[in-house]
Amino acid sequence: MANPASYPPTIDYGTIQGDIIFGLPKKHQSFVFYTIENVTGFREALEKTISQKLITTTADVCKHRKDIKQYRDDRYNNDPLAIMELVCLNIAFSSDGLRELGIDEDLGDDKFTDGQFNTAVDDLGDPERKTTPTEPEWNPEFGEIIHVCFNFTGDCAATVKSHIVKLEGIFTVNGALVLKKVHQINGTVRPGKEKGKEHFGFQDDLSNPPIIGFREPNKGEVPTRPGVILLGRPGDCDGDSEELVTRPSWTLDGSFFVLRQLCQRVPEFHAFVKKKSPKHGTELFGARMMGRWKSGASVYRNPTQDALGDADDLNKVNNFNYVDGSSTMQPQLECPFSAHLRKSLEMNPRVGFPGPNAVTDSRIIRHGIPYGPELTSEESHSKKTTEDRGLLFVSSFLYM
């Protein structure tokens, strides 16, 4: 995580959930999905959860980061592998969940109102369910009604599990849980030298934009208005208009939370890269597909070989904008238009976008985590995936 801004924030960090901007500290993460079965009991339990300050805010995250550093400095001589026991919690509601609680105000976003399940085939191109072509071929649990998601993070699975039990105890009224558990998915930071990388082997979580009032931009980064991420703040505008979108006052400093469980077929990916690349060029071919080398260094700045120095330098890792020469093909010599990074709008994908905010106002913040086991020797040998693994893509932004 980049350092928070050194100047006093103009936004109250204590009113913003911690995973939205800086991300919750984590080695393990569990997303637990529920339906609300007792509205009155749920309201009472939620009020208790808030009053006990169990929901982790952005202010809490800043303190946790300092405490973690101090813990490592004091006890382990700044050992990055030293782990302090810690647990965090954030909460997100679906539009169905808000309606269940009697909140039917228009939040100003049709995609949120409709729900991802109902739009995934047409809007996202997800594979269709054979028996019901209008529905996506998702894990069946995600087709159930989901009202609320509890987002737990911690130093290990055991810590998170104990906190889930504790929270479910709070949401138990007269001996009965006021919630019905629908599904749970768990993610874990990869071990050892793979820490921070997704299962394909690429460094993740590098291109989050600098939000004004939260951190100062590094070289190559463009300051992004807070309303691109936070409801009700400057930049929370509709299209080219500079007028704020009309939203209920209680949504101020909230955001739209998106979770995608993305399966990664690792041995097949490695086999594809090896087959399609020239001899001794598999790393380069994979890097040009992604737009970054596995270290995180950009292909644009380093078109022929990896550069660990770039990957570790906050003033180099995002210091590029794909502008070179007058030829329309020249930029692709450094990084193809088809590269994942150029399609993500996290970095300027190419020249020619109209208006000063065309790209920055479309940006998102990501805080994903891998799920599933490490690649087995049997899978590597057979070049076939047998274990479910991938990325839990977690994002906060306003325009879905």
Rounded to the nearest 5 degrees, what angle is found at the Cα of 12, between the Cα atoms of 106 and 2? 105
Rounded to the nearest 5 degrees, what angle is found at the Cα of 327, between the Cα atoms of 323 and 333? 70
- E strands, the chain, are 28-36, 87-93, 148-154, 172-173, 176-177, 179-188, 256-263, 365-366, 369-371, 390-397
CB 230 within 8 A of CB 20: yes
The question of whether 253 is a catalytic residue gets the answer no
CB 57 within 8 A of CB 14: yes
CB 291 within 8 A of CB 332: no
CA dist., res. 293 & res. 299, Å (int): 6
Among 387, 367, 382, 398, residue whose Cα is nearest residue 90: 367
Strand partners, 31: 151, 185
Which of 204, 306, 310, 361 is an active site residue? Answer: 204
CB 347 within 8 A of CB 360: no
Determine the number of helices (DSSP H) and then strands (DSSP E) in the chain: 12, 10
Give catalytic residues, as residue numbers.
204
